[in-house]
Each structure stands twice: as C-alpha cells, then as structure tokens.
Amino acid sequence: MKQTIKTIAVIGGGPCGCSLALQLKRKGYKVGVFYIEKRPEIIVGESLVPAIIPYLRKLGIEEEVKTYSTYKPGASVWVDADEESTAAFTCADGTLPHYAYNVPRVKFDKTIFDLAVKEGVSFFKQAAALEYNAETDEIKLNQATINAIEDFFQGQPDLIVDASGRSRTISRLINIPAKEGNRKDIAIFAHLSGAENISPFNIHLHRFSKGWFWRIPLPDRISTGIVINPELLKSYGQTKEEQYDNLLKTDETLLRFNSNAKRETGVQLYSNYQLISSRLYGKNWMLVGDAGGFLDPIFSSGLFLAIKGSFEAVNTIENYSNRSLKKFQKNQMNELKLWQQLVDTWYSGRLFTLIKAGQDRLDTSFGRFVEPYIKRHLTRIFTGEAVYRAISRAFLAFVLGPMIGMMKMARLHKRNVKDYEIK
C-alpha cells in the first residue's frame, strides 16, 4: 500500500544528499541533513559527462558551475603512448548537450550545498547515531541524536535516506552483503601545475604498461590520476606522496606529459571502488548514490549516477510504497550492471582493440559504411548516453563482441585482444 512520507532524514551532505534534500524541500517535505564538515582537499569525480547537464539545469546550478569550471567538448583515449583517438561529443548525435565541464569538486559540492541552505534545507553538523531493529527492519535515530537536533522531526523521521557515499553508513550498520568487482586496483591522484597543456579541454585517458591514468584540465591545474595494482604501487615508495611522485618521474609515458610539473596538492587514494550492496531499501530506509553502489571511475559515471539517483529517489518517495521501492532497487541495480559491462570492455582490451582496428583497418567499403556508427555509439559511452539507448547497447554489444571476433579471424588488425588488456 502507498504510504505518506512527510519527514525525511538524509545522511550525508555531499552532492547526492544535497541534491536529494533540495528537491524534497522544494516539494514541501520536512527534511534534515546530517553531515560532517571535514572534506578532502581534492575529490575524485572532477570530469562530468553531458548526461549530467540536464540535472544541473533542473537544480538551477549550471550557470554558477560554468563560472569556475573548464568547458569539456569531448574525450581522448590513448591506445598506446603515441596513438590517440579523439571524439567530440557532437559525434554522439544524440539528445544530450554536446558539452560538459571539468569541475574543481570542492567548489562544485559547495555550490549544491549553499543552494540547499539558501532554499531552507536544515543541516545538522554531526553524525546521525542510528539504531536497527532486525525484527521489524526499521532504523531509528537514537535519543541522543534526537535531543541534539532539538526534536526537529517531532519524533522519528518517516524515512531515513543514506546518501553517505562510500562511508555506506546503513550498509555497515546492518551488515548488508555487497558484491565486489573482480579488480582490486587503487586510484592515486593529485593536482599539477606546469604539466603539458591539454587542448581541447577533453578528458584524456591513457593506457600504459602498469595500468591507466587520466589527465583532466581544470582552470589553473591538471588533475592527474593513476589507476594501478596496489601491490605494484607499494614498490614506488613508503608513503602515498612518494609513490605518486616517483610514478611521475620514472614511468616513461607519465614523464612525457609531466616532466616540468609541480604537485600543488596533497595526494589522495581511492581503493576498492567496485562494490554494490545487495539491498537498497528496508521498511523505513533507502540507499542512494555511492551508498548503494559505486563503480570504477573510468567513464566518469560516478557523480552523474549519484545526482541522477537522487532524482529517482525523489520520485520513489513521492509514490512511496513497497512496489515503488522494488522498482527503484531494480532500476538502480540494472543501471549499475549496464555501466559495469562498459567498464569491463575497457579492462579486457576490447574497447582499445576496436579503436585500433578503426584507425588501421576500416579503410574498406564495409569499414567506411560502419565507421560512422562505431564513432557515434562509442562516443555515447563518454557522454553517458550509451547505457540508456537500446540501439546503442545492441550495437556496442555486437561490435565489442562478435565483430571483434570476426576481425580477429580475418586478421584485420595486427595484435591479439590480450595485448590491450589492462593488467
């Protein structure tokens, strides 16, 4: 049966939590956000995809975001050290804007936070202490928390939404099983000045001998991150700073772009970033954004999925029932599954193989016929549209599967697929 929700506690004051709270406040709900003010100096997820732009417009923040960000017209993938393939977002020929932004995340997060405050969302600068009743599957704020917020909800909130990101507050509280990805890579990154200029201001993704790395042009710096096996990373030093700096100095590909670079920030580490909770809701609680599941950062889907998930959570809350909650969970799980399939094409090398074949061997009548379609649908991976268009999913499934197999049999490219696999 449909239930009426009036009061909502949101755990987490990041973009997902603030976006959710802002929308709920606009719709007349009584909403309070629990957050801890401490934030890292730099935050992963700086390169946005065009698919997020419509949501920024709905929130009313695109114009402000534009003032401190770098305009992003496309994506560039380096198959090898000297082989680059670039696609402008216009090539996607879809319904999305033909641009996005590279954003300093601290400023971006503050933009949504400040707007939520301006529009009257109540924020509590403290953690929410929770209690769980396994028999009823209910979660409650403990009495000390209720007292600390001066009984803001006049008792218990009708609904508690976990938007705490990778802290996964509710999942850890009630031990929700989670599915981890096959890879255990670690991402290590910092902001550099003096690195080689990037023009146009795409996101640049590089495959190299030890993994892959990104270069994201920001207004006055370049964010450079390296994704690598954690055991291999240990060989570069005792501290994360030593490891990062030594990688820049000793790897030939990284040195090429960063020989004159100076690190302007501390170094951040992100590990274990393929994890999805097996449950996203209970009797009076929901998980949204990274709190429910997060993926590899390769296609810049993280912030987009978090913001998009907040909009879908609002729709679920407006029609709150067991049926709507089941639908929310099913849709979120399916979305993560589809994105994971795209991530797998990167690490397996199939995406590189297709790009390489397109560069080398599509100068045939069949190649000239299929090339525009390949470019269009591959570009949609980087705009964020490929997952949501059935024709793109079907076409990519073919060209990244059977078509690569046929090219191998016909020897239309020189290397085996395994040559491009990221170890």
pLDDT digits (tens, 9 = 90+) for 295-339: 888 889 999 999 999 999 999 999 999 999 999 999 999 999 999
Residue type, 314: V
Q: What is the mean pLDDT of residues 377-403?
A: 86
Model pTM score:
0.92
The percent of residues in the chain predicted with pLDDT above 70, rounded, is 91
pLDDT computed for residue 309 by the predictor: 97
Distances (CA, A) of 297 to 6, 47, 106, 163, 382: 35, 10, 18, 19, 12
pLDDT computed for residue 408 by the predictor: 53
pLDDT digits (tens, 9 = 90+) for 141-176: 999 999 999 999 999 999 999 999 999 999 999 999
Closest of 193, 31, 200 to residue 116, by C-alpha: 31
DSSP calls for 110-143: HHHHHHHHHTT-EEESSPPPEEEETTTTEEEE-H
More confident residue, 390 or 355: 390
- Span 7-68+103-179+274-339: which CATH code? 3.50.50.60
Peptide bond into 200 cis (omega under 30): yes
Q: What is the mean pLDDT of residues 73-78?
A: 92
- Span 186-271: which CATH code? 3.30.9.100
**Helix (DSSP H) and strand (DSSP E) numbers for the chain:** 15, 20
More confident residue, 203 or 405: 203
At residue 418, does pLDDT exceed 50? no
DSSP calls for 365-421: HHHHHHHHHHHHHHHHHHHT-GGG-HHHHHHHHHHTTHHHHHHHHTT-SSS-GGGG-
Within 8 A by CB and 6+ apart from 366, the residues are: none
* Radius of gyration (C-alpha) of the chain in whole angstroms: 22
Task: Name the residue ranges covered by the structural domains of the chain.
Answer: 7-68+103-179+274-339, 186-271, 346-420
More confident residue, 109 or 199: 109
At 82, is the secondary structure helix, strand, or coil?
A: coil
